[in-house]
Amino acid sequence: MADVLLIYPKTDQDVKNVNIFFPITLVSIAGSLMKKGFSVKIIDQRINSNYENKIKKELNKNPLCVGFSVATGRQIKHSLDMSVLIKKINPNLKIVWGGVHPTLSPIQTIQHPFIDIIVKGEGEETFVELVEALKKKKDLKEIKGISYKKNNKIYHNYRRPYMDLEKIPDFPFHLVNPRNYFIDIKTSKKTLLLFSSRGCQNNCKFCYNGSIHKSTWRSMSASKTFNLLQRAKELGATCVKFGDENFFYGRKRIQELYQITKKEKSDVNISTTSTLEDLRPFTKKFGEQLVKTNFLDIFIGIETISKKLQKYINKPINTNDLLKLNKNFNNLDIFLKYSFIMGFPNETKNDIQESLDVIKRLMAENKQSAHYINIFSPYYGTAIFNNSWKGYKNKPNPKKLEDWINYSWIIGRNPWVSKERMSYIKRVIHFMYFLNNKDFIYTNRHKNHLIYKLYQEIARVRCKMNFFNFAPEIKIKQFIPR
Ligand code: B12
Ligand code: SF4
């Protein structure tokens, strides 16, 4: 019998070995519960097609509650479907929702009739206290970090202070089959998602970090981080993707990780993220040290080169630093992945061009680099959300939980970008992609085809000449079977 049933909902974009990442969120919470003696069952809808029967079977064992991990979008739909199913079978069983969505939108979430309790922010400590209280049938009013219903009234308790990540117990990897979650990132076929820090010291206005982590950063020690790498290796992984917001803040930890890796002769690769600033001094020597620590790739958010837009999003980037890093890391066995955003309010063609010029230099000056251009899509709960919509009609205004299900983060509905400009940006993204030195994410089976190679050359010439007009093939491409 499991005391607690945890469900990881589908996202409807799930592809095995591509984006079905290890459910570290639930595994981490489960570890804390198990340390206190509770038994836990995890059902992952992305992996178990027979999840409905599995859930029903677990309900027969009378758990204390059922928890869902929910991000904005389709996970809301699948969590609601299952919450309704569970309540039909056992109306008294407590349904608990945690994750980014309930944290950013607690009032609407707890108002839903099938949700009894939500956990806001980190779950490890809050959920343990909650489950203990449910077991002893205690009042929930003292539990920090939750909102709950009692006698048809809603109560919002105080937020819980951020936890010390060093106190997180060993992850109970055996609750799921880690091999189901290996991601093929081309350079390393068996990559497992874990985390070693939370938050980021910066406060970029488009990022959820300011709302969730209040621009703070905390991490596990270097030795705890190293132990995770070793544990991943025992499980058959060759690489760990740390999904941290900013792995590199706190240089001491990076130095210590380097020393331990050298001493223990570890060979587990690391794929992770950094801000540009945290890779200072940008030297080759530093890069070589990172290679010896087995860093495989680093994702760096640049977003825009335009000073005006950098100010708008509160993310200053020093172009000279960027170019220095890029050049000095050339020929090192480490990939740099730069992220850019286009489609901001008040963005001019010149602003876009500034970014394009720098992207072209980056790609030319470092053969181990790639860039990603995303279309600006302000997230609800971020500082920039209301700002962007000021003066425009039809601002997304979801009034209830269900309204968030189809709230698309992917296709930006940006009234501040004209139709022509949006079409231009999409063509830019299409052609600039061919400048990438490595196609990291998906294996492109057309890649060695003569037509592909020819088209790639044409695309590269177009980028060189900034000729992004007239591209009927983008429309035709939709009809080509993959
Ligand atoms: C890896 C990742 C992915 C992976 C998959 C994640 C997975 N495991 O399946 C992929 C690539 C599929 C992905 C996709 C997307 N992602 Co994503 N992703 C992440 C990332 C980098 C790490 C997630 C993680 O594991 N965190 C570590 C865990 C421990 O933290 P946590 O999830 O917050 O959980 C804690 C609490 O929230 C709480 N909690 C969570 N669940 C529960 C459940 C219960 C019962 C309880 C009690 C508590 C609780 O306790 C946990 C431990 O303290 C985060 C950024 C980040 N660093 O968190 C973005 C992030 C979650 N993703 C984001 C976005 C926008 C997306 C996409 C929409 C991107 C896109 N344009 O397609 C899609 C949507 C997917 C969906 N859910 O529908 C946003 C979320 C914004 C939002 N409002 O939901 C984030 C925050 C990134 C960002 N800065 O913008 N993502
Ligand atoms: S540097 Fe990155 S993680 Fe940090 S606040 Fe800015 S966008 Fe968010």
Q: What angle do CA 9, 406, 109 make, to 5 degrees?
A: 65
Query: Do the Cβ atoms of 184 and 239 come closer than 8 Å?
Result: no
Q: Report the nearest atom of ligand 1 relative to the CA of 103.
A: 37
- Residue 442: predicted pLDDT: 43
Nearest CA to ligand 1 atom 53: 122
Residue 16 forms part of a structural domain: yes
Whether 301 is in the pocket of ligand 2, judged by its Cβ within 6 Å, is yes
Atom number of ligand 1 nearest to Cα 24:
25
Helix (H) or strand (E) holding 298: strand 295-303
What tokens were used for 363? 């790609």
In-domain check, residue 36: yes
Q: How much distance in Å is there from the Cα of 15 to the middle of ligand 1?
A: 16
What's the total number of domains in the chain?
A: 1
Domain CATH number, residue 52: 3.40.50.2300
Q: Which two structure tokens, joined as six digits, stand for 146?
A: 């939750």
φ/ψ bin of 265: left (φ > 0), alpha (ψ from -120 to 50), beta (otherwise): left
Distance 231 CA to ligand 1 centre (A): 22
In tens, the pLDDT along 318-348 reads: 999 999 999 999 999 999 999 999 999 999 9
Q: Residue 118 in 3-state DSSP?
A: strand
Q: Which ligand has the minimum distance to the alpha carbon of residue 29?
A: 1
Handedness of CA 232, 169, 101, 98 (dihedral sign): positive
21 lines ligand 1 (CB under 6 A): yes
The verdict on residue 21 lying in a domain is yes
Q: How far is the CA of 218 from the centre of ligand 1 (A)?
A: 17
DSSP 332: S
19 in contact with ligand 1, CB cutoff 6 A: yes
**Residue 246 CA to ligand 1 centre (angstroms):** 14
Query: How many angstroms separate the Cα of 302 from the Cα of each of 45, 336, 383, 461?
Result: 34, 12, 18, 24
Q: What is the pLDDT at residue 248? A: 98
Strand partners, 188: none
Side chain identity at residue 255, one-letter code: Q
What pLDDT, on a 0 to 100 scale, did the predictor assign at position 440? 47
Ligand nearest to the CA of 299: 2
Residue nearest to atom 8 of ligand 2 (CA): 207
Q: What whole-number distance in Å separates Cα of residue 30 and Cα of residue 47?
A: 18
* pLDDT 10s digits, 59-81: 999 999 999 999 999 999 999 99
CA of 453 to the centre of ligand 1 (A): 36
Ligand 1 pocket: which of 64, 144, 409, 441 to mutate (most atoms within 8 A of CB): 409
Please report, as a single letter, which amino acid is at residue 324: K
Q: Does 202 contact ligand 2 (Cβ within 6 A)?
A: yes
Q: Classify residue 129: in a domain, yes or no.
A: yes
The span from the CA of 456 to the CA of 462, in Å, is 10
**272: CA distance to ligand 1 center in Å?**
15
β-partners of residue 424 are none
**Could you tell me which residues are beta bridge partners of residue 40?**
4
349 part of a folded domain? no
Rounded-to-integer distance, Cα 94 and Cα 77, Å: 18
Distance (Å) from CA 156 to ligand 1 centroid: 23
246 lines ligand 2 (CB under 6 A): yes
Tokens, residue 62: 């009378």
Q: Contact at 8 Å (CB) between 197 and 249?
A: yes
Coil, strand or helix at 388:
helix
275 ligand 2 Cβ < 6 A? yes
Angle between helices 124-135 and 24-35 (to 10 degrees): 50
Which residue has the CA at smallest separation from atom 3 of ligand 2? Answer: 245
What is the DSSP secondary structure assignment for residue 181, as one 8-state letter? G
Ligand 1 centre to CA of 243 (Å) is 9
Q: Which residue has the tokens 């000056």?
A: 365
φ and ψ at residue 130, rounded to 5 degrees: -65, -50
Give the ligand whose atoms come closest to the C-alpha of residue 200: 2
- Whether residue 68 is contained in a domain is answered as yes
DSSP per-residue string spanning 64-100: SEEEEE--SSHHHHHHHHHHHHHHHH-TTSEEEEESH
Residue 470 lies in a domain: no
Distance of CA 339 to the CA centre of its chain: 13
| 183 within 8 A of 15, measured Cβ to Cβ | no
Would residue 352 count as lying in a domain?
Answer: no
Ligand 1 binding pocket includes 98 (Cβ within 6 Å): yes
pTM above 0.75, yes or no: yes
Instruction: Please list the ranges in the chain whose pLDDT falls under 70.
Output: 186-187, 408-412, 438-448, 477-482
Domain range for 45 = 4-156
Nearest to 326 by CA among 293, 356, 369: 369
